[in-house]
Structure 1
Amino acid sequence: MRLDGVSYRYGRRGPWVLREVDVEIPAGGTVVVLGRNGAGKSTLLQLAAGVLRPSSGAIKERPTPVGWVPERFPADQPFTVVGYLTAMARLHGAVDQNAIEAWVDRLGLASYRGTRLGELSKGTAQKVGLAQALIPKPGLLVLDEPWEGLDAAARELVPGIVAEVVAAGGTVLVSDHRGETGRLPGAVTWTVADGTVAQGEPRQEREIAIIEIAVPADDAEETAAALRADGHDVVAVRTKAEV
């Protein structure tokens, strides 16, 4: 998949968000999109997924089907969880009920099967968004801040899910400000700044050491966020009962 001279702006007279972007996504690879807030990462992801059309330039050889997970799942829809997943699967041409049930179970959605989307918490709704993107076995999976809002157990699943999509021949494009993408070795980096996209070298496997720390439960999320901001990978967050 290639972005050839892709430029984009919101409105005919709006400022250019991206200009003359020329990058390539390796087949069966992973791309991590980096950049400050407001740099155009989400716009780039939406262009790659086909949610937006370029103002100029072209996107070529986009794999199908495309699984798209926005940063905030649009939960204001008149569906139950399983009703929504079934409807989304139908849009891709076929309803694989076994695949729907498998992702419902894997992402911890079983108790919400009949719950309306608008009644879900942000984190649970985000799991539904992730499930709908994975059910059709995407050739291209585009994840905009996929860890945002997820509970610790669900966050731990994401690197493995990315690896499974890639192992099946799919391509993954992902952005993240939590520092979680450090656990995606071999990923190519795209850095968005000043309307341009610079492509970096693949990330290498690193020898690691795991250090366990204990903090008050009320401080767990804040501590984990601080560690990620400093560039560390938080492998798991457990309560005392789970130790």
Structure 2
Amino acid sequence: MRLSQVSFRYSRRGPWILRDVELTLRPGSVVEVTGRNGAGKSTLLRLLAGFVPPARGSVSGRPRAVGYAPDVFPTGQPFTVSAYLDHMTRVRGVSPAAAGDLARRLNAVHLLGLLLGDLSKGSAQKVGLIQSLLGPPDLLILDEPFAGLDEQTRAELPVILGEIAARGGAVVVSDHQNQLREFPGADRWLVADGAVTVRSAGTESGWRSEPEPGPDPGPGWERDTGRASGQGPGTGGREVIEVLVDPGEADEVEQKLRADGYTVRRTA
């Protein structure tokens, strides 16, 4: 699948969200998309899924079976979880047992009899994940899928993503919580200032823009230890800012800073 010179804005006179994006998504690849809030991550995912067309450029080679889970699952539907998933299995042309199997793996069996409108955010997220995984899809796109999930489901979801990639499916995940930072072989796409820069798994040169190699935007996503510091993506210099937080908040703050493209070093 390829994005060629893709640009997008939401109105004819509105600002460009993405400009002249060149990307290639290969079968079997797993991609983590990150960037600051409002950078255009969700827009990029919707372009990949085919929910919105590019204002300029083209998207080619999109697989026929696409699974997509938005960052907020629409619960304003008059169905139980079970009835909704049964309907989705018919739409996808798969066995109703597929939804039950995924519900067990994602710790969601207890939700099947509930109304969609009664679900918490984390529970609704599980339903969105289940419907996106039915098939399984040849292209899976997940927007902040780890938000609100319990520990068991957080651990199981990367296993499922690996299974999809192993059978040749492509996986693209936008994730502020960096749950895939240790995922073996994952590529990284950084969305910033209307552009998408790429770091391929196993490369030593760091970030690049497709199709021609671009300047390395810095070591903003490496895993370090030591003193807390920060450097925003796209800046020409580098400054150190010390941030003091309560021990119980340290992991959450670190994840948010890394998701926004900053280098973070923690003291022992």
Counterpart residue identity of residue 113, structure 2: G
Unaligned runs of at least 5 residues, structure 1: 209-218, 232-243
Q: TM-score, normalised by structure 2?
A: 0.76
Instruction: Give 1:133's aligned amino acid.
Output: S
How many aligned positions are there? 217
Contact 1:86/1:95 (<8 A) preserved: no
Aligned position for 2:252: 225
* Contact 2:32/2:174 (8 A) holds in 1: yes
* Counterpart contact for 2:107–2:152, Cα < 8 Å: no
Post-superposition Cα deviations, 1:38-67, rounded to whole Å, max 9, x if no partner, equal 110110011101121111211111113111
- Cα pair distance change 1:221/1:82, threshold 3 Å: farther
1:92-103 equivalences in 2 (<5 Å): 92=92, 94-103=93-102
- Deviation of 1:127 (Å): 0.3
Closer/same/farther in 2, CA of residues 228 and 194 from structure 1, 3 Å limit: closer
Residue 198 of structure 1: aligned partner: 197
SS at match of 1:181: coil
Partner SS state of residue 75, structure 1: coil
Structure 2: 5+ residue stretches without partners? 204-222, 224-245, 259-268
Is the 2:94–2:134 contact (alpha carbons within 8 Å) kept by the matching residues of 1?
no
> CA–CA distance in 2 between the matches of 1:58 and 1:161?
30
Q: RMSD in angstroms over aligned alpha carbons?
A: 2.0
Shift of 1:108: 1.8
- Give the 5 Å matches for 1:1-243: 1-92=1-92, 94-202=93-201, 222-226=249-253, 228-229=255-256
Question: Residues 77 and 32 (structure 1 numbering): CA distance in 2 closer, same or farther, change over 3 Å?
Answer: same
Q: How far apart in 1 are the matches of 2:254 and 2:54?
A: 37
CA distance in 1, matches of 2:247, 2:132: 29
Conserved? CA contact 2:139–2:169, under 8 Å: yes
Structure 2: how far apart are the matches of 1:155 and 1:132? 17
State the identity as a percent.
47
**What SS does the corresponding residue of 1:74 show, helix, strand or coil?**
coil
**Partner Cα distance (2:97, 2:173) in 1:** 27
Distance 1:87 1:203, change over 3 A: farther
Structure-1 separation of matches of 2:171 and 2:247 = 29
Determine the C-alpha separation between the residues in 2 that align with 1:39 and 1:90. 36
In the alignment, the residues of structure 1 paired with residue 15 and residue 132 of structure 2 have an alpha-carbon distance, to the nearest angstrom, of 31
Q: Aligned partners of 1:157, 1:170: CA distance in 2, in Å? A: 18
Shift of 1:84: 1.0
> How has the CA–CA distance of structure 1 residues 176 and 90 changed in structure 2, closer, same or farther, with 3 Å as cutoff?
same
Residues 106-142 of structure 1, C-alpha deviations (whole Å, 9 max, x = no match):
2122222121100011101100000001112000000
Secondary structure of the 1:14 match is coil
Distance in 2 (alpha carbons) for counterparts of 1:174 and 1:161? 13
CA distance in 1 between counterparts of 2:17 and 2:90 reads 34
Distance in 2 between the 1:2 and 1:84 partners?
33
- Name the TM-score, length of structure 1 as normaliser: 0.83
What is the distance in 1 between the residues matched to 2:111 and 2:51? 28
Supply the AA of the counterpart residue of 1:73.
F
Structure 1 stretches (4+) deviating beyond 6 angstroms?
none
Q: Contact conserved, 1:81 with 1:128, CA < 8 A, in 2? A: yes
